Amino acid sequence: MTEARDRAAEASRPTGTLERHSPVGTQRDSASPDPGERGTGDSDGPEEAAALLRRARASVDPELRAALASLPGMLGRVAQYHFGWQHADGTPATDNAGKAIRPALVLASAGALGGPAARAAAVRAAAAVELVHNFTLLHDDVMDRDTTRRHRPTAWTVFGVADAILVGDAVQALALRLLATDPHPAAAAAVARLADCVVELCAGQQVDTAMERRDPHEVTLEETLAMAEAKTGALLGCAAALGGLFAGAADEDVEALDAFGREAGLAFQLIDDVIGIWGDPRRTGKPAGADLAARKKSLPVVAALTSGTPAARELAELYTRPYEEGTEDLEQTALAVERAGGRDWAQAQAADHMARAMQQLSRAVPSPEAAGGLLALAEFVTRRNT
Amino acid sequence: MTEARDRAAEASRPTGTLERHSPVGTQRDSASPDPGERGTGDSDGPEEAAALLRRARASVDPELRAALASLPGMLGRVAQYHFGWQHADGTPATDNAGKAIRPALVLASAGALGGPAARAAAVRAAAAVELVHNFTLLHDDVMDRDTTRRHRPTAWTVFGVADAILVGDAVQALALRLLATDPHPAAAAAVARLADCVVELCAGQQVDTAMERRDPHEVTLEETLAMAEAKTGALLGCAAALGGLFAGAADEDVEALDAFGREAGLAFQLIDDVIGIWGDPRRTGKPAGADLAARKKSLPVVAALTSGTPAARELAELYTRPYEEGTEDLEQTALAVERAGGRDWAQAQAADHMARAMQQLSRAVPSPEAAGGLLALAEFVTRRNT
C-alpha cells in the first residue's frame, strides 16, 4: 500500500459520491464547530495545501540532505537515488522528490497548536517522519517486487536487493537518531511514538503480503480495513501526533491528532483503491485495472467478495483464476466489483472516514483558522487533482 | 560476517600460533600496565567470562522478552523463533538462545567504570545492543541466503523473506525505542552512538556483499580489514562504549572503550576466518573449508592473494573457478592460502589487534581488578573453547 500511497499522490480526483458526501457538508457531530466555517474555506484548499507542501519541502530538505550526507559509500549513493536527488549514475537530479505530505502534516499540526515557534521546533521531527516513510518504501518495493516508484525504476532494480535492504535499514537508523537527539523535551516520547509506528507499518505490510497468498474466500473486510489502517493510516496519524507533541499539546489532543491522521489515511486508501480499479491510466501513470490484473485484495474488492451477492460469487470465481491478457477479464472483473457494491461501499466509507477525521480535528484544534492547514492537507491527500 | 560471529561463538579454540602470540605475554607498550597482572589472571578467564555471559543473559532477558512481547501477530512469532524462544510452530523452546556477548560487554563496561549501580542502569542499553545484533542477523541471513543459524533453519527459510525483513525492521525500531526512552541522562547520546553503529554495520555488509561479486585480483587487504571492522568490530566497540556512557565516563574513556571493542572484534574475526578454513568441523558445526568452497574473500584469503608469492597466483587461479566437489579442491586451496602466508598473517594480526585492545582497555580502565571482566570477555570471543 506504500506503492498505493504514492500512486494517489499522483492520481486524479475521483468522481463519484465523494463530492456529495464531502465532510465539509456532512459533519454530523453538532456539538463540534462546523468545519465548513473553517479557515479560508474549501475552495482555497488546493492552493493552501500546495503552499504547505512546498514550504514543508523547503523546511525539511536541509535536514534530510544532512542526514543522507552522513551515509558512507554506496549507502549514500542508493539513498540519494531513492530520494530523487541523484540519477543512477550519481549525477544530480532535481525533479523527482516526493510530495512531503507527512512532513507537511507534522509542521501543520505543530503550527496549529503552537504557532510558528512550535512549527520551527518540529522541523527535525518532520524530517524523521519522511525518513521513516522512505525506509518503508525501499523495503516494501523489495518485498512487493515493485519496479517503478515516482516514475523511476525502484532502488532494488537498479542497485540490487541487498543494497536496497541495507539502505532502508540505515535510513530507519537516521530517522530515529534525528528524533532522539532533538533538544525538544518531547523528543523521547516522539521516538517512542515513531518506533511504535514503525512496528505498526511492518505489521500492516506483513498482513498485506500474507493476505495476497490467501484464498479470496478467507479474507474478511474487517482485517482488510485493519491492514489499511496499519499500512497507511498509522504514519499519517503519527505525523499529526508528533506535531502535537512538539507543540506541547495535551495527551488527549495528541491522541485526537493521531486519530485525525488515521481516519484521513483510511479515506485516502479507500479512494486510492477505487482509482486502482477505475482510475484514468493517463493520469495515474498505471493502467486502469492493474490491481485487478494482479488479483489484489483491495478494499472495494474485499467488500464485493464479502457482499453475499451473485456478483460476489462471480468475482470470487474470476479471482481464483490468473488474469488473462487480451480478454475481457478486466472489464468483467471491474463490473463484478461494481455490481457487488464494492465501488459504492468504498466511496461511502471514504466519506465516513473523512467525516470522522474532521471530528477528531475539531476536537484537537477547535479554532477553524488554526485547523485550516490540516484540513487542506487532509483534503489534498484524499482528493488531489494535480 | 554476522554468520561468522556466531560461528565462532560455537567454535573451538584454534590451535596454532595464537597461544605464543597471546597478548597477555606480548604487550609491547611498556608505558601501560601489563595486562598479565590484571584481575584474577588468564587462567580464570573462561570461567569468569562464562559467569558474565550467564549473568548478562539473566539481566537482559526480561527486557528482551518484554520488547518482543509488544510485537503483534506474526511479527512476534517470527521474532520469538529467531531469538530461540519458540519453535517454528510457536511452541516454547529453551535451548537456542544466543551467547549474549554484546550485552555482557555493555554490562561489564558499565560495571568497570561505574560499579554495580552503573551496571544496573545499563541493562536496557545492553538489551538494545542485543536487539540491534539480532536485527542485523535476520537481514544478513536473507541477503547472504544463509540457511542455518544457531543450528536451526534461519527465519527466512521458515517464514519467508518478507517476514524476515519486516521482523528485522521492527526489532531495530524496538532497539532504538528502548534506548531512547531510558531515563538515564546519557540515553540520547547512546541512541546517536547505536544508530551510527547501525549505519556502519550496514555499510560493512554492503561492502562485503559487493566484494563477493568482485574479481579476486581487485580486492585489497586494507578494504577487507575495514569491512571486517565495520561488520564485526563496530558493534562490539559500541557495546563497550555504551557501558561507558551509562557509567558517566569521560569522552576519551568512552572512545577508548569503543576502540577496545573494535580491536577485540577484529582479532575475533581474524581467528574466526582461520577456523573457517582449518577449523574442526565436528566442533564448529560447519564443514572445514566451507568458506573456501564458497570462494569467500576472508581475511587470510585476501592476505594470501595479495602476498605476491607463487602460491598467491595458484590461489587466484583456484578462486576464479567454482569449487568442485569430490576433488582435492579444498585441500589444495587451503594449502595455497597457507603457503602464501595467509594463515600466519591472520594469526599474527589477531595477536596484534588483541594487544591493541588491551592497550585501549588499560587506558579506559587502569585498575586491573576493574578491567578483569572486559579482559575475560575479550579473550572469550577470540579464543573460547566450549
B176 touches chain A (CB under 8 A): yes
How far, in Å, CA of A212 to CA of A224, rounded? 11
- The reported pLDDT for the residue numbered A95 is 66
CB contact under 8 A, B173 and A195: yes
* Structural contact between residues A257 and A249, judged by C-beta atoms closer than 8 angstroms: yes
| A329: pLDDT strictly greater than 70 | yes
- The reported pLDDT for the residue numbered B30 is 35
Would you state the cell numbers that stand for residue B348, as one nine-digit string? 599474527
Output phi, psi for B341, to 5 deg.
90, 5
CB atoms within 10 A of CB B327: 9
pLDDT: which is higher, A233 or B33: A233
Q: Which residue has the cell 582497555?
A: B361
Q: How confident is the model at residue B151 (pLDDT cuts 50, 70, 90)?
A: confident
CB contact under 8 A, B202 and A162: no
Which residues of A are less than 8 Å from B188 in CB distance? 180-181, 187-188
Pairing label, strands B148-149, A152-153: unpaired
Superfamily of domain A2-19+33-383: Farnesyl Diphosphate Synthase (1.10.600.10)
Q: Facing residues of B218 across strands?
A: none
Residues A239-249 have a mean pLDDT of 98
| A253: pLDDT strictly greater than 60 | yes
Burial class (CB in 10 A: 0-12, 13-18, 19+), B323: middle
Which residues of B are less than 8 Å from A136 in CB distance? 169
H helix or E strand, kind and range, residue A152: strand A152-153
A226-264 per-residue burial string, b: 16 or more CB within 10 A, e: under 16: ebbbbbbbbbbbbbbbbbbbbbbbeeebbbbbbbbbbbb
Encode pLDDT of B261-273 as tens digits: 999 999 999 999 9
CB contact under 8 A, A161 and B143: yes
CB contact under 8 A, B195 and A209: no
A117 touches chain B (CB under 8 A): no
Architecture of domain B2-383: Orthogonal Bundle (1.10)
Which residues of B are less than 8 Å from A161 in CB distance? 143
| Nearest residue in chain A measured CA to CA from B176 | A176
Q: What is the DSSP letter of B35?
A: G
Pairing label, strands B152-153, B148-149: antiparallel
- From A239's Cα to the closest Cα of chain B, the distance in A is 17
- The reported pLDDT for the residue numbered B46 is 82
CB atoms within 10 A of CB B326: 5
Mean pLDDT (chain A) is 87
Encode pLDDT of B298-348 as tens digits: 999 999 999 999 999 999 999 999 998 888 889 999 999 999 999 999 999
CB atoms within 10 A of CB B175: 28
Encode pLDDT of B30-88 as tens digits: 333 333 333 334 457 789 999 999 999 999 999 999 999 999 999 999 999 999 999 99
* Structural contact between residues A385 and A8, judged by C-beta atoms closer than 8 angstroms: no
Among the residue ranges A250-264, B16-30, B235-249, the one predicted with the least confidence is B16-30
- The reported pLDDT for the residue numbered A98 is 82
Give the Cα-Cα-Cα angle B83, B84, B86 (nearest 5 degrees): 110
Encode pLDDT of B159-202 as tens digits: 999 999 999 999 999 999 999 999 999 999 999 999 999 999 99
Q: How confident is the model at residue A74 (pLDDT cuts 50, 70, 90)?
A: very high
- The reported pLDDT for the residue numbered B279 is 79
Hey, which residues 70-89 in chain A have their CB within 8 Å of chain B?
Answer: 70-75
Domain range annotation of chain B: 2-383
Among the residue ranges A123-132, A279-288, A294-303, the one predicted with the least confidence is A279-288
- The reported pLDDT for the residue numbered A99 is 87
CB contact under 8 A, A135 and B206: no
Instruction: Give the closest of A74, A162, A195 to B174, CB-based.
Output: A195
How far, in Å, CA of A275 to CA of A288, rounded? 8
Hey, which residues 141-160 in chain B have their CB within 8 Å of chain A?
Answer: 142-143
Nearest one of A17, A25, A51, A34 to A380, comparing CA atoms:
A51
Among the residue ranges A150-154, A203-207, A256-260, the one predicted with the least confidence is A150-154
How far, in Å, CA of A132 to CA of A138, rounded? 10
pLDDT: which is higher, B27 or A244: A244
Nearest one of A97, A118, A98, A100 to A109, comparing CA atoms:
A118
| Nearest residue in chain B measured CA to CA from A202 | B166
- The reported pLDDT for the residue numbered B98 is 82
Nearest one of B199, B16, B290, B22 to A67, comparing CA atoms:
B199
How far, in Å, CA of B273 to CA of B292, rounded? 10
| A100: pLDDT strictly greater than 90 | yes
Q: How confident is the model at residue B383 (pLDDT cuts 50, 70, 90)?
A: confident
A198 touches chain B (CB under 8 A): yes
Residue A291's contacts (CB-CB under 8 Å, 6 or more residues apart) are A273, A276, A277, A298, A301
Sign of the torsion formed by the C-alpha atoms of B266, B271, B277 and B283:
negative
Instruction: Give the closest of A166, A191, A199 to B206, CB-based.
Output: A166
Residues A118-130 have a mean pLDDT of 98
How far, in Å, CA of B163 to CA of A138, rounded? 15
Task: Cite the DSSP H helix spans in A213-341.
Answer: 221-228, 234-246, 251-278, 281-284, 290-293, 299-305, 310-320, 329-339
- From B27's Cα to the closest Cα of chain A, the distance in A is 34
* Structural contact between residues B106 and B120, judged by C-beta atoms closer than 8 angstroms: no
Q: How confident is the model at residue B280 (pLDDT cuts 50, 70, 90)?
A: low
Mean pLDDT (chain B) is 87
CB contact under 8 A, B203 and A176: no
B117 touches chain A (CB under 8 A): no
Encode pLDDT of A175-222 as tens digits: 999 999 999 999 999 999 999 999 999 999 999 999 988 988 899 999
| Nearest residue in chain B measured CA to CA from A171 | B199
CB contact under 8 A, A181 and B188: yes
CB contact under 8 A, B203 and A70: no
Residues A100-116 have a mean pLDDT of 97
Among the residue ranges A34-48, B92-106, B116-130, B275-289, the one predicted with the least confidence is A34-48
Q: How confident is the model at residue B282 (pLDDT cuts 50, 70, 90)?
A: low
Residues B13-34 have a mean pLDDT of 33
What three-state secondary structure class fits B288?
coil
| B102: pLDDT strictly greater than 90 | yes
Residues A53-78 have a mean pLDDT of 97
Q: Residue B49: how many CA atoms within 13 Å on its side-chain side?
A: 24
- The reported pLDDT for the residue numbered A97 is 73
CB atoms within 10 A of CB A265: 30
- From A61's Cα to the closest Cα of chain B, the distance in A is 20
Chain centroid offset of residue B149 CA: 14
Instruction: Give the closest of A73, A188, A200 to B203, CB-based.
Output: A73
CB contact under 8 A, B188 and A187: yes
Instruction: Give the closest of B74, B181, B200 to A210, CB-based.
Output: B74
A181 touches chain B (CB under 8 A): yes
Size of interface A-B (CB pairs under 8 A): 155
- From B77's Cα to the closest Cα of chain A, the distance in A is 12
Among the residue ranges B127-131, B168-172, B287-291, the one predicted with the least confidence is B287-291
Nearest one of B215, B349, B350, B336 to B278, comparing CA atoms:
B336
How far, in Å, CA of A88 to CA of A86, rounded? 7
Longest dimension (CA), chain A: 60
- Quote ipTM for the complex: 0.88
Hey, which residues 259-318 in chain B have their CB within 8 Å of chain A?
Answer: none
pLDDT: which is higher, A280 or A151: A151
